[in-house]
Homo-oligomer: A and B are copies of this chain.
Amino acid sequence: MLRPIKHLRSIRAKRFLSTCESYFPDEPKAPILKTSTIPGPKSEQLNNELGEIFDNRATYFVSDYYNSKGNYISDADGNYLLDVYAQISSIALGYNNPELIKTAKSDEMTNALINRPALACFPSTDYATILNEGILSAAPKGMNKVWTALSGSDANETAYKAAFMYHHTKRRNGDFSAEELESVMNNELPGASDMVILSFDKGFHGRLFGSLSTTRSKAIHKLDIPAFNWPKAPFPSLKYPLNEFEAENRQEEDKCLQEFESIIKSYNGKVAAMIIEPVQSEGGDNHATPYFFQQLRKITQDNDVLMIVDEVQTGVGASGKLWAHEHFDLPSPPDMVTFSKKFQAAGFYFSNPELQPNQPYRQFNTWCGDPSKALIAKTIYQEVVKHDLVNKTASIGNYLFSNLKSLAEKYPILNLRGENFGTFIAWDCKDANERGKLLLSLRNKGINIGGCGDYSIRLRPPLVFEQKHADIFLSALEDALKEL
C-alpha cells in the first residue's frame, strides 16, 4: 500500500523542484557555523602551511571544495557559507554541479587534459564542434568568430593586439618595410606601434602589462609597474536613485562623452581601440545608462576607433541578460567582446574577419586557449539554456533589488544600484571602515560576500541563486546592519 503513495509524493515533489533543488538535493538549508569566527583554526593552520610556499595574504578562508554544494561554500573547519561572491564572480552553476561532474569525468575531458594541444598548429578533431556547441552558441549578437585565451587579462591583451594589427595593416597598404622589420626588433617605431588603447577612469581590465596600462581601478593594482602612456576618459558618476536624477545624470554623461570624443580627436587617429566594462566591477560597480553606451558606439564608429566590451565579469548571465551589453541596445554590435570567469574559458568574440591578422603566427602562442576549459564552458552554456537561468537570474535579481530597496529605507545602504540588472547589484557603505565591518559581520553570520571599489559591496551569486537564498541573505544583512 505504501508504494503508490511514495510514488505520488515523489512526482509531486519533483513538480516543485527548483533548478537548484534538482541539481543539489542535499544543499544545506541555511549556513552551518561550526566556529565562532571565520577563518576558524583549521583554516588558519592550512593557510599558514600554504604561506610557506605561496603568497597567502589575501586569503579569506581555506575552502573545502569537496564538501561545497550549490550556493554553499564549505571551509576547512566544516562551516558552510552562503556564497554570494562565488570566486570573484566565477562559479556559474554552483559548487559540485552534477552536470559539470559528468563533463569532468567524460572521455572528452580526459583527452583534453592529458593531450593538451598547441591549438593553432595541431587543432583537435573536435575543437570546432566544442566551440560551435558551446562558446560560439553563446556568442553575442553579431559575433561569429572567437579567439580563445586563458584569462581575462589574456583575452583583453589579445583583443588589443588584434586592434593594433588591424589598424596598421589597413594603413600600411602592402608588405612590412625594411625599416619596420628592423626597428621593431629594438622595440622602436615604425615597426612597433605608437597607437593607444583608450580606457575609462575606474575601469579594470587585468593585471598583465598591456591590460594593466588600461586598468584604472586602484593604485595598489598599478604601483611600481611600467605602464604604456595610454589615455583614460572619465566615466560618468551617476546619482541614485536614477529616476530622481535623470537630468543631472544625462548632463554628466554628456560631459563624459564630450571628453571621450575630444581625447580621441586629440590623438589624431592614434586611438586603436577603446575598452569598457558594461558595469565597472572592480572599480566599484559603476553603471552608466544605455544612452551613454549608444553614444560611445556612435563616436567610436565615426572616428574609426574599435570598441571592445570587456564582459569578463559581467558576462554569462548574472546581469539578467547573457551578455550585459545587451541591456544597451547598441546601434551596432561592438567590434570585440571579451569573456572569462563564469565560462572558465577565456577569449574574445568578433565578427569582422579583418580582426584576424592578415598573416598567420601574428596572433599566436603555444596553447591558444584550452579545450578542457572550452568543454566546461559548453556545459555551462547548455545548462544555462536548458534551465532558463538567465531569465531566472533576472527575476531573482528583481526580488533582491526590491527587498534591498526596502532595507535602504531603514539602514545605510547607499546608492543602491543594479536595478533590472539581474543579481549584478551593489551599494555603497559610509566608508571603507564600515564596509570592512559589514563584510566581516556577514561572514561570521555565514554569508561569503565581497567588496569592490573603495567602499562598495557587490553581489555576485551563481546563476542557481534562488528566492530562498535571497531570503537568507537579506535576513543576515538586516541583522548585520542593525548591529553596525
User: Which residues of A are in contact with B by a Cβ distance under 8 Å?
Assistant: 46-47, 49-50, 52-66, 68, 73, 76, 87-88, 90-91, 95-97, 100-101, 103-105, 107, 109-125, 127-128, 131-132, 136, 144-148, 150-154, 157, 160-161, 164-165, 167-169, 176, 180-182, 184-188, 191-196, 201, 206-211, 213, 216, 219-230, 232, 340-341, 344, 356-357, 359-367, 372, 376
Contacts and interface: CB of A to CB of B under 8 A. Distances in A.
A151 B54 CA distance: 18
Contacts of A150: 150-151, 154
B55 A147 contact: yes
A104 B96 contact: no
Nearest to A365: B207
A466 to B, nearest CB: 20
B226 A164 contact: yes
B122 A73 contact: yes
A63 B165 contact: no
A144 B91 CA distance: 31
Nearest to A64: B125
A88 B119 CA distance: 10
Given A104-B114, A164-B226, A228-B226, A120 B157 contact: no
B73 A227 contact: no
Contact of A95 (B49, B115, B376): B115
Contact of A216 (B64, B153, B185): B185
Contacts of A372: 113, 372
A316 to B, nearest CB: 14
Contacts of A146: 53-54
Contact of A223 (B128, B180, B194): B180
7 contacts: A55-B120, A88-B118, A105-B110, A157-B208, A168-B223, A192-B227, A194-B226
